[in-house]
Amino acid sequence: MLPISDYRLVLAAQRAADSIQWDSLRGRNCVWEKKKTIGDFGIYTRHNGDVHHIMASGSVSCSLREMEHMLRTTSDERYVTAMTELHGTQFLSGAVLHRINTHDVMANFQQQEEPQASLQPTPQEGVDLSIKAATFAKAHMFARNEQWYYLDYFQAQPERERFVLTMHSLNPCDFTLPTAASATSKDGSNNANDALDMQSKNQLQNMCAGYSVVFDKRRSVVWVVFYAQFDNASASSASAYHNRDCASTSTTRARLMKLATATCCLPMLVRRRRLGVQVFADLSAFTPPNTHCIGCTVALLPLLSQRKRCHLCGYYVCLKCSTKQPRERAFGSPRDRLARVCFTCTRRVNTANYDRVQVPIASCAAIKPNPKNEQGGSECASHKLAELLHASMKKNAQEPLRQRAIVQVIQHILEQDNIKRESKNSESKDDDRVSMPPLSLLSASPSLSQRDTSSTSTSTRPSSNANAKSSPVIDLDAERYSLNALETQLHVPELALEDCVVANADSRAYPISYKDESAEGVPDFPVPEHEARRMNVVRQIRFCEMLNLPELEIICAIASKELKCSAGLVTIVDKDMTHVVASSAEGFQNVVVPREESICAHTVMSDKPLLLPHCDADIRFSKLAAVQGGAVNFYCGFPIITSDNTVVGSMCCVGSESHDVTQAQYAMLLKLASTASRVLECHAQAHAA
């Protein structure tokens, strides 16, 4: 048995797609028998000789892009999650066995003869054709599990605001399966034998199915049509010719009916996925102040059973003004989670933008493991930070003031390690270790050798701003010594994945307050528990007046470069306004925005970082001007904490594209945020003196 080439797979997919005449399915010549109605969907069947046809059609209130993310899956995890959502316990396991970019295949064919088989891994970007395997549970005790190998072909038609997804059965005996493929069951475990083993399973053959999804601008809905056909004559001949493992006609037709019925669940799946993106309130963390329903304002007595709490905003609500809705379960979870949501929150959930949300699981705001490099290891936060500081020094070689700021940033980073090291030394009474000399003394030292022998002071750092003003040219020896110190002294602690905690990953400890019941207004900003003390620190130290410090700008530039964001910011959250005191992008410099328009107002609610992969899908931020304008869709903010553990602002990175944040990046940004806090406090001490 020879492996089939990608080119022939593309031709087979195109023939299958052309065989479905979507525009004529509802023509006058097509007489359909309506079987049942489920919600806004109807299921129809008809027979044409030996060919059995089935169709399910209806509307879903969502965007075309959102529906594409649900139906088009190119990774094993997304595929298994989508199939589990659609088919529930009927779906056992599945895998994406092979990925093809049809444009590349056809372009290569035009330049040369037919290519040989290519079962090498293909990047998921640009994949529009794939071979998939799915295993379904048996219909009854004496039946066998059903297995379906098929081509999954995606065709976008942007000029018609439409896409088509065609699924065409493959006989596994006709092609070679890639040995590297692995199946993923819905509990998250990999089981290659289950997906690739054809023993004791009925093979679903001679099935051609597909989805046609068209966007209706007038009604702001998408019209979904599922169509499938099964040729009884071909199935009978194929079953007799190949083997007895082919599914019977009745089994195949029953599976097609189940596929059509699953299509009717799409409206519910859209609502569940939207709720899965939201961060729900921890109802045990606070007590809402309202004594009346936030919807109809009816009085709610504590002892009456009609008083409930909305899991999104956290306020009391009556039964009539709220509904229980299923929220998306985490990958591998055996059952759905129900959440009560008030009508006001429901309207805001429906008006948020989910076009960029591709990850189907609810835990999308989580730190990712470090990727493996070519040597099999993972990236080191210390090495990465040293590289970025080296690159920044080289980039600003012709700007002495910027170079001095970089040296001072290095000084602050290393002195944090020295302080921790000295505290450990004092506790263990170890007098043998000599601390590293403060880098602020380097410009006063005549030579590098003298610097190493004469400077052993363990006192706190002198003011670096005085040195910056007195000498506009940086000492070259100081630069060399600081770069050498990066190689020998810099240490960023490696954090385990479970220690990379982000705020609001599972829940939040504060409510969402709306100014009105409309879905357009910006919610009120939350207020920390110790707001009076926090404001006292901000006003006394006058953090809002520390604008455009070169050290902070260097920190912002390094952070934004590492996360590939458009801007890095250092912000201070005042009583009613949020001040951008430093930025790596000119457009954000010295910007002051109302506190309710600032994401950083939520960062100061906790001493943990805040990660928002999709701000426009979160009801807390979807109506912010910066989010709706497209400038901010991704946010990663680390709180700026003073020496007395007061959160005064954040060091954050923002951008229009979402990114994953790894363990090493988390550790490095944590170090940069603490460095920014130290820069602000040292600057305040220098001015106070």
Domains of the chain (ranges, CATH numbers): 6-264 (3.30.530.20), 276-351 (3.30.40.10), 381-423+435-489 (no CATH), 501-688 (3.30.450.40)
562 pLDDT more than 90: yes
573 within 8 A of 549, measured Cβ to Cβ: no
Sheet holding 647-655, edge to edge: 592-594, 577-583, 567-573, 647-655, 634-641, 610-612
Mean pLDDT score, 158-174: 89
Asked if residue 267 has pLDDT above 90, the reply is yes
Lowest mean pLDDT across 58-67, 255-264, 409-418, 666-675: 409-418
**Contact of 626 with 632, CB cutoff 8 Å:** yes
Q: Which residue has tokens 């007489």?
A: 31
Confidence of residue 568 (pLDDT cuts 50, 70, 90): very high
Position 4 scores a pLDDT of: 73
Instruction: Using the predicted structure, report yes or no on whether residue 178 has a pLDDT greater than 80.
Output: no
Angle, CA 503 vertex, CA 499 and CA 505 arms, to 5°: 85
The C-alpha atoms of residue 312 and residue 342 are separated, in whole angstroms, by: 8
Distances (CA, A) of 650 to 327, 582, 590, 676: 31, 11, 15, 9
Question: Given this model, what pLDDT does residue 117 score?
Answer: 46
| Overall average pLDDT of the 338-353 stretch | 94
**What is the dihedral angle through the alpha carbons of 385, 388, 390, 391, rounded to the nearest 10 degrees?**
170
Q: State residue 129's pLDDT score.
A: 94
pLDDT of the residue at 183: 54
Give the SS3 label for residue 232: helix
CA 334 vs CA 84, 106, 182, 460: distances in Å: 10, 43, 22, 56
For residue 403, what pLDDT is reported? 84
Residue 443 is predicted with a pLDDT of 35
Distance of alpha carbon 79 from alpha carbon 255, whole angstroms: 19
Beta bridge pairs of residue 611: 636
Sequence-ordered alpha helix ranges (H) in 286-356: 343-351
If you average pLDDT over residues 173-181, what whole number do you get? 55
Cα angle: 365, vertex 367, 371; to 5 degrees: 135
Lookup: tokens for 422: 């000295």
| 8 A C-beta contact, residue 30 and residue 24 | yes
Q: Where are the alpha helices (DSSP H) in 564-662?
A: 600-603, 625-628
Q: For 636-677, how does the pLDDT look when each residue is reduced to its tens digit (9 = 90+)?
A: 999 999 999 999 999 999 999 998 999 999 999 999 999 999
Residue 375 has pLDDT above 50, yes or no: yes
pLDDT digit string, tens, across residues 75-127: 898 899 899 989 999 999 999 999 999 988 888 877 665 544 444 444 555 67
What contacts 5, CB < 8 A, 6 or more positions away? 114, 115, 116, 117, 118
Residue closest to 287 by CA, chosen among 90, 88, 511? 511
Q: Quick: pLDDT tens for 208-248.
A: 999 999 999 999 999 999 999 998 766 555 544 455 678 88
SS3 helix, strand, coil % of the chain, rounded to 5?
Answer: 35, 20, 40
Higher pLDDT, 537 or 482: 537
Q: Determine which of 8-17, 460-469, 541-550, 589-598 has the lowest per-residue pLDDT on average.
A: 460-469
What integer best gives the mean pLDDT of the chain?
A: 83
> Which residues, in sequence order, are bridge partners of residue 610?
503, 637
The strand pair at 184-185 and 91-100 is best described as antiparallel
**Cα 203 from Cα 172, distance rounded (Å):** 9
pLDDT at 275 over 60: yes
Give me the pLDDT at residue 243, please: 56
Select from 548, 543, 552, 546 the least CA-distant residue to 409: 552
Per the CB < 8 A criterion, the answer to whether 141 and 119 are in contact is: no
CB atoms within 10 A of CB 486: 20
Higher pLDDT pick, 116 / 54? 54
Q: Which residue has the tokens 């410009």?
A: 443
| Angle value at C-alpha 246, between 244 and 249, nearest 5 degrees | 115
Strands (E), 126-267: 129-136, 145-157, 162-169, 184-185, 201-203, 207-216, 221-231
pLDDT band for position 464 (cuts 50, 70, 90): very low
The pLDDT of 626-638, averaged and rounded, is: 95
What is the spatial distance between Cα 506 and Cα 26, in angstroms, rounded to a whole number? 46
pLDDT in the model for residue 688: 75
Query: In 590-677, at which residue ranges do the beta strands (DSSP E only) sit?
Result: 592-594, 610-612, 634-641, 647-655
Contacts of 621 (CB under 8 A, 6+ apart): 599, 612, 615, 627, 635
* Residue in this structure with the two tokens 């996925």, named with its chain if needed: 273
Using a 10 angstrom Cβ sphere, with 0-12 exposed, 13-18 middle and 19 or more buried, the burial of residue 14 is middle
Specify the higher pLDDT residue, 538 or 420. Answer: 538
Question: Which of 395-399, 521-525, 568-572 has the lowest average pLDDT?
Answer: 395-399
**Beta pairing class for 145-157 and 162-169:** antiparallel
